[in-house]
């Protein structure tokens, strides 16, 4: 699949089944995704792969985050079972007071992390896998952070749910949006000689 086709046919797939990429295949795709623009390869991120019993533990933690009993708690417990693989993206910025390559502002490190994650979703799609990005209140949960082993200064950005899409036929090609109103050309005023 060429890059333009991958970009125009990728969708957030909400029904994901087995198979998901193996740990080895995920690492292979991540090596390629890590070539996204990243300011000298700082890689201010890491992924935590959650499968099987890990999904059960994460579901219990999601449910505990819901103070009220009932359907919302059950929904939280079931959430990690919506895909065979959850890849939790952890932002691990380098402090910008270290000098050298680590002196990049945190927002630039976050931009590099986002570029890598976007590239990974395209690579997964090109390989026939589906994915959907999930974020929300759970990313701020101390309980979930402890469960996943987040370190000091790290932040959970969200989870990429990954598997094989349950759909009939290929994804429809999106029509690119008209973005001409988002483009301008800089033309400085002539200066007197």
pLDDT of res. 52: 94
pLDDT of res. 102: 53
pLDDT of res. 66: 76
pLDDT of res. 41: 87
pLDDT of res. 96: 67
- Report the DSSP beta bridge partners of residue 91: 45, 155
Cβ atoms 131, 170 nearer than 8 A: no
pLDDT of res. 154: 97
- pLDDT tens-digit profile, the chain (193 residues): 888 888 888 888 888 999 999 999 999 999 999 999 998 789 999 999 999 999 999 999 988 887 777 676 778 788 898 999 999 999 999 886 655 555 789 999 999 999 999 999 999 999 999 999 999 889 999 999 999 999 999 999 999 999 999 876 667 888 889 999 999 999 999 887 7
Task: Report how far residue 62's alpha carbon sits from residue 79's, in angstroms, rounded to the nearest whole number.
Answer: 8
**Domains, the chain, ranges and CATH?**
15-50+82-167 (3.40.109.10)
Tokens of 132: 């959907």
Cβ atoms 102, 43 nearer than 8 A: no
- Report the DSSP beta bridge partners of residue 159: 88, 134
- List strand residue ranges (DSSP E) for 55-154, in order: 85-91, 130-134
pLDDT of res. 88: 98
pLDDT of res. 100: 52
pLDDT of res. 192: 79
Task: Report how far residue 35's alpha carbon sits from residue 55's, in angstroms, rounded to the nearest whole number.
Answer: 29
């Amino acid at each position: 699949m060429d890059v333009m086709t991958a970009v125009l046919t990728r969708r957030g797939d909400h029904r994901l089944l087995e198979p998901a990429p193996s740990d080895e295949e995920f690492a292979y795709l991540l090596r390629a995704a890590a070539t996204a623009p990243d300011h000298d390869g700082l890689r201010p991120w890491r992924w935590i792969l959650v499968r099987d019993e890990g999904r059960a533990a994460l579901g219990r933690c999601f449910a505990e985050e819901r103070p009220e009993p009932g359907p919302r708690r059950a929904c939280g417990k079931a959430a990690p079972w919506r895909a065979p693989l959850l890849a939790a993206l952890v932002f691990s910025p380098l402090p910008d007071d270290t000098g050298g390559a680590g002196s990049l502002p945190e927002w630039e490190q976050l931009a590099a992390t986002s570029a890598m994650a976007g590239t990974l979703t395209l690579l997964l799609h090109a390989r026939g896998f589906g994915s959907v990005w999930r974020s929300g209140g759970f990313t701020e949960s101390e309980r979930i952070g402890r469960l996943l082993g987040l370190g000091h200064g790290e932040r959970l950005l969200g989870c990429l749910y990954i598997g094989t899409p349950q759909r009939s036929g290929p994804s429809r090609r999106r029509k690119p949006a008209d973005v001409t109103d988002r483009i301008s050309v800089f033309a400085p005023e002539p200066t007197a000689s």
